[in-house]
Structure 1
Amino acid sequence: MPTATCSSATATERGHRPVTLLVRPATEADIPAITSIYAVEVRDFVNTYEYDTPDEAEMLRRMRGLVGAGYPYFVAEVDGRVAGYAYASAFRARIGYRFTVENSVYVAAGVQNRGVGSALLGRLVTECEARGFRQMVAVIGESANAASIRLHERFGFRLVGTFDGIGRKQERWLDTVFMQRALGPGSEGPPSP
């Protein structure tokens, strides 16, 4: 699978110094960085409704499970350091949903607004299409997460609904936003073999 290297125009436009951005398949060696990025999300934010920070062994188990099941898992490096990660997973467990994936994109604190999320989501969409998936769903924790909603809109996702107050974290009730986009031919025609 080829890697992609690009300079981030977004960084320059927003006054950040230009960065070298590389998106590549994640490896087990990336687990410490992935675990660290996710720990901040669990501990400090409501983008995930998980309460307890998983350790490296758990994050490795999760990665192995996804990759072993045929889902893509990527990291983004900024100037040689892991700055974010993204993966696709099953949307639902029932066999009839096997052509639909859910995406997850996490960007490290301090490198937001530098094109990392866009590079990761773009690569994830392309790879899911290449693997024959037909729909991608974004499940966004907290309806006030405007950055994630805007990111998905830029990639052609449309709002399909919001569950009001369906989650609870940090002593408050939280909404969950569902967005969706077709992959490849979407729901037109039969699936690829």
Structure 2
Amino acid sequence: MLEEEYDRDRRRLPRHLRRQPEPELPFAFTIRPVADRDIPDVREIYNYYVTNSVVTFDEKKWSVAQWRDKMALLRKLDLPFLVAESPTGQILGYALVQPMSSKSAYRYSVENSIYLGQAAAGKGLGKALLVALIAACEEKGIRQMVAVISDKGAEASIALHERLGFVEVGRMGRVGFKFGRWLGTIYLQKELKPVKKKKRGLFSR
């Protein structure tokens, strides 16, 4: 049967007998603290950007062991590390903060990182993760959050941070070299509003 004949016959069928296209499921996720089982997925998400983009200046893929060490350090420092999980258990993206510096006077200031899996890009997950990360940091008494973003290929990230109240505070030109080209960095900062006072000892544990 020709395709046009099939379509004509299909139109003659009562509506309840016609073959309907499968409805697309809504994009859904839950944001929660990272768990040990999430680390392989986090690694895969991050390594995609290592090998395919300049939004991270890392040039070598991270191992699962490196990510487990990072998770352990952030837990020791009591700093947020969040993941977004789909209803089927897939890790769609993650967000974390780390100290700006090893010097103790920086203990109320952090640098953020947010990365999404390719299937989750452009669906509002980046904003949801950043909002959740800000709230988690405010719960812990953190006062300043800084984003250090590549000046090439990260326009969406810059726009997202600005929509959530981050302000550009500086730029550095040609400080990174990846994929045969020089890259700069853009610094954006947001003052947080801690919901409770908590003495932080990030570097004394």
Return 5+ residue gaps in structure 1 as ranges. Answer: 1-15, 186-190
Q: Deviations over 1:66-120 (max 9, x none)?
A: 1221111000013331000010100111111110011000001121111111111
Is structure 2 residue 124 aligned with structure 1 residue 122?
no
Report the AA paired with residue 176 of structure 2. Answer: G
| Residue 95 of structure 2 is aligned to residue 78 of structure 1 | no
Give the strand-richer structure, 1 or 2. Answer: 1
| TM-score normalised by length of structure 2 | 0.80
Decide which of 147, 157, 160 is 1:151's aligned counterpart.
160
Report the counterpart of residue 67 of structure 1 in structure 2: 75
The number of equivalent residue pairs is 173
Structure 1 position 34 matched with structure 2 position 34: no
1:89 aligns with 2:77: no
Shift of 1:62: 1.0
List 4+ stretches of structure 1 deviating above 3 A: none
Equivalent residues of 1:19, 1:79 under 8 A apart: no
Q: Is the 8 A contact 2:95 2:114 kept in 1?
A: yes
Deviation at 1:28, TM superposition (A): 0.7
Please list every run of 5 or more consecutive structure 2 residues that lacks an aligned counterpart in the other structure. 1-23, 200-205
TM-score by length of structure 1 reads 0.85
Which one-letter code corresponds to 1:173 in the other structure? W
Cα contact 1:31–1:59 (8 A) shared by 2: yes
Alignment check: 8 A CA contact 2:55 2:153 kept = no
What percent of counterpart residues are identical? 37
| Partner residue of 1:20 out of 24, 28, 35 | 28
Larger CA Rg, structure 1 vs 2: 2
Residue 95 of structure 1 aligns with an amino acid whose one-letter code is: S
Does residue 105 of the first structure (1) align with residue 138 of the second (2)?
no
Give 1:40-55 correspondences, 5 Å limit: 40-55=48-63
Distance 1:156 1:30 in 2: 30
Task: Find the residue that maps to 1:37 and give its secondary structure.
Answer: helix
